[in-house]
Chains A and B, each alone.
Chain A
Amino acid sequence: MTEKAIALTVNGELRRASVMPRMTLVDLLRDMLGLTGTHIGCEHGVCGACSILLDGVAVRSCLIFAVQADGHSVTTVEGLGGGDGRIGDLQDAFWECHAMQCGYCTPGMLIAGHALLEENPEPTTEEIREAISGNLCRCTGYTQIVEAIALCAARRNGEDGR
């Protein structure tokens, strides 16, 4: 199988790779670019653990081939903070609310929450539930995740939140 050279922006940095046409984007990120924060849960587009932002839109990286991301911009969980171990405000709200247990679905949940707040800075509880309904979590029962996203929104809007 002939490999194809691709170039894409990942977390603000230009990355080049030579990939088989059948390689999924999530495998490129994890196995070739070393970004193992994005997880694999089902490989059929249901669980959302592999969610990333493609040109700012939350998508499932198990359903996209790496070659389809050629020339596009990808943000993974590693890109949500400021680098150097700093974390973003949504990540901090997840920590504050203990919006996780095992941490496996967390990167996908953060991506879903991030995409929601970009589009809708003041979501209702129902809108938050809708926004994360494509991401499965087996540990939390979702309550603390919904609370974390609401807390982040409240803090951005200058409220204390909790």
Chain B
Amino acid sequence: MSDRGANYRYVSRKRRAREDRRFIAGKGRFAADIAVPGMKHVALVASPHPRARIRSIDASRALESPGVHSVLTGDELSAETAPLFNGLDIPNVKWFPLAVGMTRYAGEWVAAVVADSRYLAEDAAELVEVDYKPLPAAVEIESLLDSDSPPVHPEHGSNVLVRKNFEWGPVEEDFARSEHTLAYRARWGRSSTVPIETFGVLSRWDPIREILDVWASIQMPNYQEQIANALGIPTNAIRVYNDVDVGGSYGVKRGIKHTVITAYLARKLGMPVRLIEDRLDNMSGGDAHGPDRLFDVTLAFDGDGTIRSMKLRAIDDVGAYPGRGPLQLGKPITALVGPYRLSSVAYEAISVTSNKTGQVPVRGFGQSPTNFMIETGVDLVARRLGIDRMELRRRNLIESHEFPWRIPTGTEYDSGDYRAVLDKTLDLADYDSLVARRDAARAAGKLAGIGIATCLEPGGGNNIFEQLLNEKLEITTFVESCLMRVDMHGNVTAVMSTTTSGQGHETLIATIAGEELERDPDSIRVTHADSLEALPTRSPVASRMAIVLGSATSEAARKIRSKMIKIAAHNLGVGEDRVEYQTGTFFVRGEPARKLEWNEIAGIAHRQFHRLPPGTDPCLQEFSVLQVPGASGQLPNEKKEIQLYPCFSFQAHIPYVEIDPGTGKVEVLDYAIGHDCGTVINPDIVRGMIVGGLAHGIGAALYEKFAYDEDGQFLAGSFVDYLLPSSHEIPMVKDVEHCTPSPKTSLGQKGSGEGGYLGAPAAIASAVNDALAPLDISLAELPMRLCDIEAAIHEKRTERTE
């Protein structure tokens, strides 16, 4: 780690993001921009029923339609491919890309039509005749625990996929000695990240070279391994191009089923095949919904506001096909007690399946719902005890001198100064004036409220939490790597693997490499290796790239630098300890005239073996592959304690809202956020992540819901029904940074990609409840849509009238 307040040349400085240049010119290269000769197009046939038996599929008319090459059904595909990956140990829950025998949600893909153009494919898709026998569906979350709910996967035996109980620390003792308890329920509605680019994939099989080329809008660990497993071909016969620009993901671009459909068809037909979701495909059938969670919580605390313990049950409805979705009940164990000093916690995690679209990882991997649950409880305790919400937090926040702080689950928080960030945020919000503004608005007859959320963003990733939900998953590495070369002209190239979906990885690497090598970052080329070029990666999930890839970049650069010093020392005739390096020049300490320039060393390394120190390999190329910094690399102990994510960023949110008492419409009028992600690599990128994540969180709090009716029919397949916040709904956000460097990373950096999303839903809910407090209304279900708020106000007024 660097010294506190290190004076960086490039890091933490205002610098333009290099990726932006191609995007402003209209020269991004997204999946749908890539065309290869002879490419064919897929249109999908989707089930209109939430749950139905498929009696027959007649594709004869579709096959006669102009330009059609094939109609693929689930029967054929399931006979030729293996089921897709499930994170849980549920061997009887089989997931195939197209429905087999039964449809399990409205919108599920039943057949795929291949034609010369998308227009012709859609024409033919309308001619595919499917004979369904509709069946009653499993819909309401608590009913899914019942043994008599309609079985989504009859072979599995129930709709409960996993139920695990954990207890960390002296829960019963803590409850026994606490003066109060408070039980509450919190509900996180079904929403997702919904990128503006839908998922797209193009597959091409070369039968001579025996290589499957894949260009996809993907953000997923182990993509090529999953393709290989499904198709039964070797992983080294799959080349995934990682230089495809991904038009937003925030976790959800996981189109494995789309990929298997196109890859299977490409091999079968001998033609390149492309599938680009349209918006309805994406929202109804793309299996890209997020957590849908019901929390039942009891907190134990004293009259002075000290919260000692929490008992928690979380039920998560993962939809019809679980995939990796249920593991989102595991990651929040990383920060299960938030930034607070609880000494014990009991956690029951239940994953249930339903006749709804499948769940995928969403920004934060379950942490945002968890933070909402915790913050809701803290606000309720404050209300119960009549203690100011800010003060209650101050009394429970871990203090800066207490780090590293170990929480009951066994994870150690690396560093932080939560009070300082909260105080900075209160200053930024001009809190006293904000209170005066709220009170004046209330005096004028308005509903007005101030929100607060103080919460964590665990960063770095570490799959060991999977093992807590599925003992068969023993994954204790979560690597990232960087290959760096100085060529014979002295130019620097750094290679990463994996795609980028807006995080600015090229800027990240160039900035860190430039800092370490004292070279202008703009002179450093950064490329994305394809999946056959042997750079290990687990993809840019879990707010981990600054942490793991950033540290790998530092390490590769430091290896290059020390090799160049070694070569310089040999050629200057002094020991390595006497050579100094400064901005492109290697010189003998105290004798600046005895020197060699950067390019001279590069030339020696590449061309002049006779001038290399004995035993030195020629050329300047270094590779760094890093395990998660600070990870033990071990499995959890018998008490299920384990170090999960390595780095903990912190945020304090203070929004101000006013609510129209007639319509229930919430307006977010002001928003201050304080943020600490350690050393900031690029200030504009971090700010964008924070504000953008916050906007996403406002959506989840107030607008976004994948609604279903009670029969399981899907009601939100367009942007008219599923509301993304526009510039009208998002205020100009005021932000302030604080820097507590992480001791675990190369420059003290932590994660920031999950950004404001991890706290905004909690903060907005807090503000809405503050606004509704004078009416004695308390809501704990997201989203808090205007219709929900209006209904709550109406009900309360009716009660009072009666």
Is there contact, CB below 8 Å, between B197 and A104?
yes
The residue of chain B having its C-beta at the shortest distance from the C-beta of A20 within the complex is B119
* Contact A141 B195, beta carbon cutoff 8 Å: no
| Residues on A with beta carbons closer than 8 Å to the beta carbon of B504 | 101
Do B691 and A46 have beta carbons less than 8 Å apart?
no
Contact of B197 (CB < 8 Å), options: A35, A39, A46, A142: A39
Indicate whether A44 sits within 8 Å of B692 (C-beta atoms), given known contacts A134-B726, A138-B250: no
Contact B26 A139 (CB under 8 A): no
Q: Does A58 contact B (CB under 8 A)?
A: no
Task: Please determine whether A95 and B24 come into contact, CB atoms closer than 8 angstroms.
Answer: yes
- A41 interface contact, C-beta 8 A: yes
Residues of B241-277 at the interface with A, using a CB-CB cut-off of 8 Å, are 245-250
Whether A91 contacts B684 by the Cβ 8 Å rule is: no
Chain B residues, CB < 8 A from A31: 35
Interface residues in A50-100 (C-beta closer than 8 Å to B): 76-78, 80-81, 85, 87, 91-92, 94-98, 100
Contacts of A141 in B (CB 8 A): 688, 691-696, 730, 733, 756
- B33-A36 in contact (CB<8A): yes
Report B-chain residues with C-beta under 8 Å of the C-beta of A42: 279, 718-719
State which of A91, A103, A107, A136 has its C-beta within 8 Å of the C-beta of B719.
A136
Contact B732 A146 (CB under 8 A): yes
- Please determine whether B26 and A107 come into contact, CB atoms closer than 8 angstroms: yes
Query: How far is B33's CA from A77's CA once the two chains are assembled, in angstroms?
Result: 15
**Closest chain B residue to A102 by CB distance?**
B502
Given contacts A43-B279, A136-B719, A144-B688, contact A100 B727 (CB under 8 A): no
B17 interface residue (CB < 8 Å to A): yes
Residues of B within 8 A of A105 (CB): 196
A residues in contact with B756, CB < 8 Å = 141
A78 and B25 within 8 A (CB): yes
Given A136-B719, A141-B691, A146-B732, CB of A38 within 8 Å of CB of B197: no
In the assembled complex, the Cα of A130 lies from the Cα of B733 at a distance in Å of 17
Q: A44 with B119: in contact, given A129-B728, A134-B726, A136-B196 (CB under 8 Å)?
A: no
Which residues from A are CB-within-8-Å of B196? 39, 41, 47, 49, 104-105, 136-138
Q: Is the CB of B684 within 8 A of A136?
A: no
Q: How far is the CB of A42 from chain B (nearest CB, A)?
A: 4
B692 touches which of A129, A134, A139 (Cβ 8 Å): A139
Enumerate B494-531 residues with CB–CB distance to A below 8 Å. 501-504
Q: Majority SS of interface residues in chain B? A: loop
Distance A71 CA – B21 CA, assembled complex (angstroms) = 32
In whole angstroms, how far apart are the Cα atoms of A35 and B35 in the complex? 12
CA distance A133 to B196 in the complex (A): 15
Q: Is B561 an interface residue (CB 8 A)?
A: no
Q: Cβ of B114 < 8 Å from any Cβ of A?
A: no
| Cα distance A106–B33 in the bound complex, in angstroms | 15
Asked if A33 is an interface residue, CB under 8 A from chain B, the answer is no
- The answer to whether B718 and A37 have CB atoms under 8 Å apart is no
Q: Is B247 in contact with A39, judged by CB distance below 8 angstroms? A: yes
Q: How far is the CB of B500 from chain A (nearest CB, A)?
A: 8
Task: Report the interface size class on chain A.
Answer: 35 or more
Residue B533 lies at the interface, judged by CB distance under 8 Å to chain A: no
* Contact A139 B688, beta carbon cutoff 8 Å: yes
Distance between B741 CB and nearest chain A CB, rounded to angstroms = 23
A18, CB-defined interface residue at 8 Å: no
What distance in Å separates the Cβ of B375 from its nearest Cβ neighbour in chain A?
20
The answer to whether A87 and B502 have CB atoms under 8 Å apart is: no
Kindly supply a per-residue 1/0 record for chain A positions 113-145, scoring 1 wherever the CB is within 8 Å of any chain B CB and 0 otherwise: 000000000000100011011111111111111
A41 contacts B16, CB within 8 Å? no
Q: Contacts A41-B196, A43-B279, A144-B684 hold; do A103 and B20 have CB atoms under 8 A apart?
A: yes
Q: Contacts of A25 on B, CB cut-off 8 Å?
A: none
> Which chain B residues numbered 1 to 30 have a C-beta less than 8 Å away from chain A?
16-17, 19-28, 30
Distance in angstroms from B26 CB to nearest chain A CB is 2
In the complex where A136-B719, A138-B696 touch, is A102 in contact with B727 (Cβ < 8 A)?
no
A138 touches B24 (CB 8 A): no
CB-CB under 8 A from A15, the residues of chain B are: none
Instruction: Please indicate the chain A residues that have their CB under 8 angstroms from the CB of B24 in the complex.
Output: 77, 87, 91-92, 94-95, 100, 103, 106, 110
The residue in chain A whose Cβ has the minimal distance to the Cβ of B718 is A44
Cβ of B745 within 8 Å of any chain A Cβ, yes or no, is: no
A23 in the interface (beta carbon within 8 A): yes
The CB with the most chain A CB atoms within 10 A, among B19, B247, B694, B730, is that of B247
B residues 189-242 with Cβ under 8 Å of A?
193-198
Please report the C-alpha to C-alpha distance between residue A31 and residue B274 in the assembled complex, in whole angstroms. Answer: 14
* Chain A minimum-CB-distance residue to B753: A101
Report chain A residues within 8 Å CB of B733: 141, 143
Closest to B33 in A: A36
- Report the separation of the CA atoms of residues A100 and B500 in the bound assembly, to the nearest whole angstrom: 13
- A22 on the B face (CB < 8 A): yes
| 8 CB-based A-B contacts, threshold 8 Å | A41-B198, A102-B502, A104-B28, A110-B24, A141-B694, A141-B733, A142-B695, A144-B684
Closest CB pairs A-B (n = 3): A37-B26, A103-B23, A104-B247
Q: What residues make up the interface of A, taking CB atoms closer than 8 Å to B?
A: 20, 22-23, 30-31, 35-44, 46-47, 49, 76-78, 80-81, 85, 87, 91-92, 94-98, 100-107, 110, 125, 129-130, 132-146
Q: Give me 7 other A-B pairs in contact (C-beta within 8 A), A46-B719, A100-B502 excluded.
A: A39-B30, A95-B20, A101-B689, A104-B30, A135-B726, A136-B719, A142-B727
